[in-house]
Amino acid sequence: MDKKTSVLEAALRLFVEFGFHNTPTSKIAKEAGISSGTLFYFFPTKDDLVVALYLDIKGKLGCEITESISLENSFKEILKKYYIATLNWATEHKSEFKFMEQFNSSPYLKKIAEEEVQKYVKPLKGLLQNAIDEGVLKNMNLEIIFTLISGHTFSINQYLLSNELSENKRNEVINETFELIWHMIAVV
């Protein structure tokens, strides 16, 4: 594993455990097995490190979701695969999800350029807009539909993470809650 990856992994563990403000860069460097100077070579400031970790995680999540929906044809199946892939990713990457929670409710979110944020949401928004245009989804404001889906997915993920469910029960919850959101936004 290269040094930059070691820093990102150490930062993830420590930020999730201690928070952004209670994790000094010296502790991250020590956890990564490198000097502080090496850490600052890759990330000149702690803010740069926090933002880089966020973008790294968002990129990995995006790749996983894109891969999961690539073989689907109907919009409903694409959206369902997107929903399931997001929930499965969060379950399999609990630390990354907790970091994203922290990040999204912190001042660091404002340090990300709007273009960078849009890069990750643009594909889904494009699919949603096409579905609205084709009459598959209700003729509602795109941002409202996007917010409904995002908020619903986030909340269901929190529910799944805070409850010990069997795999069958977990899949049942995912399928039932997808149908709820689908009936809320789809033209039926």
DSSP the chain: --HHHHHHHHHHHHHHHH-STT--HHHHHHHHTS-HHHHHHH-SSHHHHHHHHHHHHHHHHHHHHHHHHTT--SHHHHHHHHHHHHHHHHHHTHHHHHHHHHHHTSGGGGGS-HHHHHHHHHHHHHHHHHHHHTTSB-S--HHHHHHHHHHHHHHHHHHHHHS---HHHHHHHHHHHHHHHHHHHB--
User: Is residue 47's pLDDT more than 70?
Assistant: yes
Domain boundaries, the chain: 1-44, 55-185
Measured in whole angstroms, how far is the alpha carbon of residue 64 from the centre of its chain? 11
CATH architecture, range 1-44? Orthogonal Bundle (1.10)
Number of neighbours of residue 10 by Cβ within 10 angstroms: 20
What does the pLDDT read at residue 69? 77
* pLDDT category of residue 57 using cuts at 50, 70 and 90: very high
What does the pLDDT read at residue 30? 96
Alpha-carbon span 62 to 3, nearest angstrom: 24
The residue assigned the tokens 């689907």 is 72
What does the pLDDT read at residue 119? 80
pTM of the predicted protein model: 0.85
pLDDT tens-digit series, residues 136-181: 999 999 999 999 999 999 999 999 999 999 999 999 999 999 999 9
Whole-number mean pLDDT of the chain? Answer: 92
Number of neighbours of residue 92 by Cβ within 10 angstroms: 10
What does the pLDDT read at residue 169? 97
What does the pLDDT read at residue 15? 97
Q: What is the CATH number of domain 55-185?
A: 1.10.357.10
Q: For residues 50-55, give the mean pLDDT.
A: 94
Measured in whole angstroms, how far is the alpha carbon of residue 108 from the centre of its chain? 15
Amino acid, single-letter form, for residue 107:
P
Q: For residues 30-49, give the mean pLDDT.
A: 95
What does the pLDDT read at residue 72? 65
What does the pLDDT read at residue 105? 86
pLDDT tens-digit series, residues 88-138: 999 899 999 999 989 988 888 888 877 777 787 888 899 999 999 999 999
Q: For residues 28-33, give the mean pLDDT.
A: 96
